[in-house]
């Protein structure tokens, strides 16, 4: 993690993602990507500085207004409301952690959700 409690490195994002049960690392469009049960959770953007993360409908607009320094979209993602980009070097680690976990939860099995609940205790 970066100094002052803000921002993450690639390795820190990877560690957060891979801490979730059943998460698998691979590639998507030639960049590192994270999936659970073959469903995309997040991937690094081609710019090398942003994370493309799957979000619930409606969440993207709220987060882009609340945290414009870290949450944004490109013209390409304007037509894909289920995805948002996050500048990981500027984002609050807690936000990235929550986004990854929320996206993971939508694709995880009941067994994986139960395992996560046990690990959180």
Question: What pLDDT shows up at residue 57?
Answer: 80
Question: What pLDDT shows up at residue 61?
Answer: 95
- The pLDDT-based confidence of 2 (bands split at 50, 70, 90) is very low
Chain center to CA of 49? 13
Please indicate, yes or no, whether the overall pTM of this predicted structure exceeds 0.85.
Answer: yes
Which tokens is 6 given?
């803000």
The CATH number fitting domain 3-108, selected from 3.90.1150.30, 3.40.50.360, 3.40.50.80, 3.20.20.60: 3.90.1150.30
Q: Is the pLDDT of residue 3 over 90?
A: no
pLDDT in tens, 59-75: 999 999 999 999 999 99
Domain residue ranges of the chain, discontinuous segments joined by +: 3-108
Contacts of 121 (CB under 8 A, 6+ apart): none
């Amino acid at each position: 993690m970066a100094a002052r409690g803000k921002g993450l490195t690639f390795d820190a994002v990877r560690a957060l993602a891979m801490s979730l049960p059943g998460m698998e690392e691979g590639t998507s469009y030639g960049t590192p990507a994270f999936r659970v049960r073959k469903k995309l959770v997040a991937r690094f953007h081609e710019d090398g500085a942003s994370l493309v993360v799957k979000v619930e409908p409606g969440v993207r607009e709220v987060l882009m207004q609340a945290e414009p320094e870290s949450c944004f979209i490109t013209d390409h993602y304007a037509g894909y409301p289920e995805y948002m980009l996050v500048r990981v070097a500027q984002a609050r680690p807690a936000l990235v952690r929550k986004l990854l976990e929320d996206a993971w939860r939508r694709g995880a099995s009941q067994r994986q959700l139960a395992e996560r609940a046990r690990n959180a205790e």
